[in-house]
């Protein structure tokens, strides 16, 4: 059985260092299996989050060889084994311990976005009718598993730390699925500009690249939202009308 060497970040908010471990590699093994093996055999107190182990819950986000990934969907066979594999926590969020970060900011941000507000049911049976074609786009955004890898890689958050001014790609697609839900009557466009900092995104598409659900975050969600903001806030005619109306 081949062997793999790891450098796993061990530490907490006060500091830490990479620690060396090694494990056997069996067929089909993913990085999360290796971390669990290390945890069971030699480091019972190695902290990591995980739940479904099938890419559906978005708990085991980490940076593997420097790239933001889900540990459960990263196969050992796809990594070079001739040098140690590094496994680190996400950098955009404060560290709690080892591979576990404090992602509570994301939960707080979501609360600031106006919730779903459907129009009154208008079908005879007291519900609504919607065509499949009209919901494909928001359904794409609702595939999001909230792994926060897009938030992790976004330079506005990661390098510029604008957490208090910018909601990040995850919550732009969250806003987009609400705005594009055929039943919704809410208006989140002013908030996008003034509160949620959509202007900070300069569409480098890093978020789209790391999304494990392969959601086209930038092209399908962020750019259309930016267009809505521009149409509303910067269109000269609308602006004039707004001034006239007071």
> Count of CB atoms within 10 A of residue 75's CB?
13
What span, in angstroms and rounded, lies between the C-alpha atoms of 202 and 219? 12
Task: Report which of 114, 25, 101, 20 is spatially closest to residue 59, judged by C-alpha positions.
Answer: 101
Nearest distance from residue 27's CB to another protein, in Å?
Answer: 5
Nearest distance from residue 26's CB to another protein, in Å?
Answer: 6
Stated as kind and residue range, the H or E segment containing 29 is none
Beta carbons of 105 and 164 less than 8 angstroms apart: no
H-type helices in the chain, by residue range? 31-41, 104-111, 132-141, 149-153, 155-158, 168-179, 189-194, 206-210, 223-233, 236-245
| Binding of residue 46 to another protein (CB under 8 A) | yes
DSSP 8-state class, residue 67:
E
| Binding of residue 161 to another protein (CB under 8 A) | no
Q: What mask, x for binding another protein by CB under 8 A, covers residues 93 to 122?
A: ---xxx-x-xxx--x--xx---xx-x--x-
- Residue among 11 and 224 whose Cβ is closer to another protein: 11
| Binding of residue 131 to another protein (CB under 8 A) | yes
Inter-CA distances, 87 with 8, 44, 71, 124, 156, Å: 5, 17, 9, 56, 23
Site for another protein in 201-240 (CB under 8 A): none
- Residue among 4 and 226 whose Cβ is closer to another protein: 4
Beta carbons of 1 and 7 less than 8 angstroms apart: no
| Binding of residue 8 to another protein (CB under 8 A) | no
Nearest distance from residue 165's CB to another protein, in Å?
Answer: 21
Beta carbons of 64 and 79 less than 8 angstroms apart: yes
| Binding of residue 189 to another protein (CB under 8 A) | no
Site residue total, another protein (CB under 8 A): 58
Nearest distance from residue 94's CB to another protein, in Å?
Answer: 11
| Binding of residue 75 to another protein (CB under 8 A) | yes
- Residue among 201 and 215 whose Cβ is closer to another protein: 215
What span, in angstroms and rounded, lies between the C-alpha atoms of 15 and 118? 48
Question: Given candidates 54, 237, 243, 244, which one binds another protein under the rule CB under 8 A?
Answer: 54
| Binding of residue 135 to another protein (CB under 8 A) | yes
Contacting positions for another protein (CB under 8 A): 12, 26-30, 33, 39-40, 44-59, 73, 75, 96-98, 100, 102-104, 107, 110-111, 115-116, 118, 121, 127-132, 135, 138-139, 142-143, 145-146, 178, 181, 183-184
């Amino acid at each position: 059985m081949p062997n793999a060497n790891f450098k796993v970040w061990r530490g907490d908010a006060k500091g830490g260092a990479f620690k060396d471990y090694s494990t056997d590699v069996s067929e089909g093994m993913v990085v999360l299996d290796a971390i669990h093996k290390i945890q069971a055999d030699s480091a019972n107190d190695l902290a990591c989050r995980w739940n479904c182990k099938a890419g559906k819950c978005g708990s085991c986000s980490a940076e593997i060889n420097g790239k933001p990934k889900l540990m459960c969907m990263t196969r050992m066979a796809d990594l070079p084994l001739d040098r140690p594999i590094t496994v680190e926590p996400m950098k955009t969020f404060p560290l709690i311990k080892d591979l576990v970060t404090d992602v509570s900011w994301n939960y707080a941000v979501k609360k600031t976005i106006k919730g779903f507000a459907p129009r009154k049911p208008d079908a005879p049976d007291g519900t609504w009718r919607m065509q499949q074609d009209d919901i494909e786009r928001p359904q794409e955004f609702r595939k999001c598993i909230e792994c926060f890898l897009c938030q992790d890689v976004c330079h506005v958050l990661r390098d510029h730390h604008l957490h208090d001014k910018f909601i990040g790609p995850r919550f732009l697609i969250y806003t987009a699925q609400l705005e594009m839900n055929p039943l919704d009557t809410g208006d989140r466009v002013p908030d996008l500009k003034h509160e949620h900092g959509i202007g900070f995104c300069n569409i480098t598409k890093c978020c789209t690249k790391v999304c494990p659900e392969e959601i086209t975050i930038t092209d399908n969600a962020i750019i259309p939202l930016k267009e809505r903001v521009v149409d509303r806030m910067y269109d000269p005619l609308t602006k004039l009308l707004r001034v006239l109306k007071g």
